[in-house]
Amino acid sequence: MKDLIQLQKKIAPEIIDITEKRYSILRTLEFNQPIGRRALAVMLNKSERWVRSELDVLKEQGLIDIQTSGMSVTEEGKNIINHFRSFIAELRGITSLAQEIKEALQVKEVLIVPGNTEEDWETLKDIAKIAFEYIEQHIQDQNIIAVSGGYSVLAVADNAVKLKAKDITVVPARGGIKADLERQANIVAAKLANNIGGSYHLLHLPDNISEDMLNSMISDPDINKVIEYIRHANIFIFGLSSLESISRKRNFTAEEMTELKRLKVKAEAFGCYFDEDGNIVHKTGSIGIRPEDLKNIELAISIGGGASKAEPIILVNKGRSNSVIVTDEAAAHEILKILEGGLSNGN
């Protein structure tokens, strides 16, 4: 495919340009259907006249359906989107970029989608879809999936469909935190389980409780059962953040921020705080996934895009042979920039 693309670029570069534009239209339609022509033009930042002419071509090819309620992508159109994702990735050099990052970080797999989540929120849906497709390919009967909270993992749950694998159990990787209810781990676990046709168990405990209270509550059969599921998870799906991002979400006090900066914290994931060398230097909460559990998990899948996620992706995943990184083009290029310049020079 790579050679064919290079030939097309030389002999008919306009074909590549048209292909990318029509792929973008189909992708935007799929995520927002049913949608009107005017609204689509605004989303694409194109004139309504230009959009109309392109839609006529797509309709003639049977890729979209136009009704009074709005436009939508046909099944054939959805197949085109799925097949062209790898073409667009190759076109932009994303395939080789993923391999370069995989080798540099020594992780199991790197999956990259075109785009920039920080500029186009729909890119997160692409990340979520490709992450779920990877899970779909690797999950086995009776597997246990643990999930963190957050918008990125919630997007995976939202884009999940019924699995062929049987007897799948989904559990939250952590207890509750002070966050919007819709993106707490319990809610994400329940939504994912319902969409894939699995079962779920919830952890009705705050994320931060004293050791004495934990020892008292862990004797409860229901709580202990969920913790055992978490300890034996086969797949772990989680989001990650920079210190700046997590401090805004958690509303840290000045004292807490001073301590985290003293520890040289640069990233956070699943309640663990990583310093500039990728070491875990602080942990919040005593419930759920522990750092020592990570090595026993078959697939630890981190979800997140945008350049600001580049350093957290490196620090949380580097050297973990079971890590699967699912991100976007913007983060991937920033990851390489940091790796080439050294982390200390990339900050």
Q: What is the pLDDT of residues 192-224, one digit of tens each?
A: 999 999 999 998 766 556 556 666 667 777 788
Measured distance CA(184)–CA(281) in Å, rounded: 24
Residue 345, Cβ density class (10 Å: 0-12 exposed, 13-18 middle, ≥19 buried) = exposed
- Confidence (pLDDT) at 192: 98
- Confidence (pLDDT) at 183: 75
Residue 329, Cβ density class (10 Å: 0-12 exposed, 13-18 middle, ≥19 buried) = buried
Measured distance CA(344)–CA(11) in Å, rounded: 43
Instruction: Tell me if 194 sits within 8 A of 157, measured CB to CB.
Output: no
Measured distance CA(310)–CA(331) in Å, rounded: 5
Nearest partner of 198 among 240, 150, 145, judged by Cα:
145
Which residues of the chain are modeled with pLDDT < 50?
344-347
DSSP β-ladder status, 144-147 and 109-113: unpaired
Measured distance CA(303)–CA(28) in Å, rounded: 21
Q: What is the pLDDT of residues 134-171, one digit of tens each?
A: 999 999 999 999 999 899 999 999 999 999 999 999 99
**Complete domains list, the chain, with CATH:** 2-87 (1.10.10.10), 92-346 (3.40.50.1360)
Measured distance CA(73)–CA(85) in Å, rounded: 16
Q: Identify the residue whose tokens are 């020079």.
A: 345
Nearest partner of 331 among 298, 301, 296, 304, judged by Cα:
304
- Confidence (pLDDT) at 224: 82
**What's 258's DSSP letter?**
H
Q: Identify the residue whose tokens are 């991100």.
A: 327
Reading the block at residue 204, the tokens are 């009705």
- Confidence (pLDDT) at 13: 65
Measured distance CA(176)–CA(149) in Å, rounded: 9
